[in-house]
Amino acid sequence: MSKVLVSDPIDQAGIDILSQVATVDVKTNLKPEELVQIIGDYDALMIRSGTRVTKEIIEAGTQLKIIGRAGVGVDNVDVPAATRKGIVVVNSPEGNTIAAAEHALAMMLSLSRYIPDANASVKRGEWDRKSFIGAEVYKKTLGVIGLGKIGSHVATVAKAMGMKLLAYDPFISTERAEQIGCQLVELDLLVQQADYITLHMPKTPETTHLIDAKMLAKMKPTARIVNCARGGIIDEEALAVALKEGQIAGAALDVFESEPLGESSLRALGKEIILTPHLGASTTEAQVNVAIDVAEQIRDVLLGLPARSAVNIPGLGPDILEELKPYMQLAETLGKLVGQLAGGRVELLNVRLQGELATNKSQPLVIASLKGLLYQALRERVNYVNATLEAKERGIRVIETRDAAIKDYAGSLHLEATGSLGTHSVTGALLGDGEIRLTNIDGFPVNVPPSQHMLFTLHRDMPGIIGKLGSLLGSFNVNIASMQVGRKIVRGDAVMVLSLDDPLPEGILSEIKKVAGIRDAYTVTL
């Protein structure tokens, strides 16, 4: 049975799902060195923001197949290191969107009305009303930086509160921003004009310290800033100075450069700052959502199925994935086959989507083809996560083409590879029941199911060859399960495809090539 380590607190709903397929150990608050020591026993690791999954941990995780982040941000995971080792990293892109957006809105309103400090003063027994005269958000300008899922929800709600909306997001179209009621502007303009600024982008090299002393200096003295995205997007030292000197009016932070927040000049500030301990996703609803979402993906990957929200393989909606799953199997089989026919050192792979398949996304099929193609070289080390990277590192050029006009099967996939044994091609299709059929080998039409041990010959179509080959295989005690000849013209060139019950013994291939009329022969193991 597989083993899953859960190293941050997650909802029981997630543990229940994982327990269907694995032994689940929940061990929170582990020190990095403790995690390095035990991770080698586990097939999957499930985390939130509390666990830093470093390169060292990934390298020690020799059995790891998947890292599941029960939330959005994966900045605490060394994703490139995981990709290199073929480990899928999944998250829950939508499970906590509303929770995080509502927290940002709550922070904005709390900041405007000094609710945390007013509350604390009443609890201390005071009745001070004049110290807490706030500001309204109505008709004020909110600048949303990062107009993704959370930013969009914040904008939508803020609009309903009568706020004017500016947005900065280099990857969002003007039309999309307008749909949400935001005017897309440059960052400088946004920070100069906004009364409230809210951050909703990932932490990347570009966004780290994006809000620094210079940026803070451009803001209105009445401006208030909210960060429920990631610590380190705001330079905390510069923020503490700006607040102290009255350069801006307030800040509300849920996330910090280092968590838990240690010694910090931010703690010494007054009612102009609100600090929460990374609570954006901490609602009952969000925790159930993310735990189920990620646990289901871990379960699927442990069962050999693809994950729906992997961050290090192309994003595919569950619908597309469901539809393409059988074709990915076909692509992988054809990749294995053509890779062996072309010999090692494949330099070029052409993947052609034919017939109805031509309207589908090609990327997953290309990845599956590469996974098959590289299997000979890498065995179990190659998977959907690292196949593209491994192919690139081996200098394999990939061409994707489509031909909707080829209609001999409803949808078929054609792979052509050039390697040390020259250029070879295979075509395959799926039958109604999802079974794979090889429909063409090197331009010769065939109709055979793939099998584990196969033999292909290129020969002259003439009497006696099939018999000679059969006797030769028999003399080596190799049993033929099925055999088919594909030819274009009678007595011209032809291919023979044999499914064998046993692998071909050493040395027999050279004997086969000596049979009169046989020009070439290849064995393939699928």
Ligand X SMILES: O=C(O)C(=O)COP(=O)(O)O
Ligand Y SMILES: NC(=O)C1=CN([C@@H]2O[C@H](COP(=O)(O)OP(=O)(O)OC[C@H]3O[C@@H](n4cnc5c(N)ncnc54)[C@H](O)[C@@H]3O)[C@@H](O)[C@H]2O)C=CC1
**Interface contacts to ligand X, rule CB under 6 A:** 48-50, 70-73, 96, 278, 280-282
Q: How far is the CB of 200 from ligand X (least distance, A)?
A: 11
Q: Kindly provide the b/e burial profile for residues 443-452, where b requires at least 16 CB atoms within 10 angstroms of the residue's own CB.
A: ebebebebbe
230 is a catalytic site residue: yes
Among the options 48, 153, 224, 278, which is catalytic? Answer: 278
CA angle, 232 as apex, 251 and 85 as ends, to 5°? 145
Out of ligand Y, ligand X, none, what residue 148 binds, judged by CB under 5 to 8 A for its kind, is: ligand Y
* Amino acid letter for position 464: G
Site of tokens 């899928």 = 88
Q: How far is the CB of 478 from ligand X (least distance, A)?
A: 57
Among all chains, which residue has been given the structure tokens 């604390």? 120
Q: Which is nearer to ligand Y, 229 or 521 (CB)?
A: 229
Q: How far is the CB of 289 from ligand X (least distance, A)?
A: 11
Residue pair 338/416 in contact (Cβ under 8 Å)? The answer is: yes
Q: By CB under 6 A, is residue 72 in contact with ligand Y?
A: yes
Tell me the three state secondary structure of residue 211: strand
Report the nearest approach of ligand Y to the CB of residue 513 (Å): 57
- Please name the residue ranges forming H helices in 342-422: 363-378, 387-393
Among the listed residues 224, 230, 414, 424, the single catalytic one is 230
Give whichever of 50 and 181 is closer to ligand X, judged by the CB atom: 50
H-run or E-run covering 224: strand 224-227
Please say if 259 is a catalytic residue.
yes
Q: Does 96 bind ligand Y (CB under 6 A)?
A: yes
50 binds ligand Y (CB under 6 A): no
List Cα–Cα distances, 433 to 102, 351, 407, 436, in angstroms: 48, 24, 18, 9
Closer of 294 and 455 to ligand X (Cβ): 294
How far is Cα 498 from Cα 269, in angstroms, rounded to an integer? 79
278 is known as an active-site residue: yes
Is 107 a residue that touches ligand Y (CB under 6 A)? no
- Return the residue nearest ligand Y (CB atom): 148
Q: How far is the CB of 199 from ligand Y (least distance, A)?
A: 8
End-to-end CA distance of the chain: 26
Nearest alpha carbon to residue 14 among 233, 206, 288, 291: 291
Residues 203-242 that bind ligand Y (CB under 6 A): 204, 206-207, 228-230
How far apart are the C-alpha atoms of 417 and 399, rounded to whole Å?
Answer: 10
Contact between 149 and ligand Y (CB under 6 A)? Answer: yes
Our finding on whether 168 is near ligand Y (CB under 6 A) is: yes
Find the helix or strand (DSSP H, E) in which 480 lies: strand 480-487
**Binding interface with ligand Y (CB under 6 A):** 71-73, 96-97, 100, 145-151, 168-172, 200-202, 204, 206-207, 228-230, 254-255, 278, 280-281
Q: Which residues are catalytic?
A: 230, 259, 278
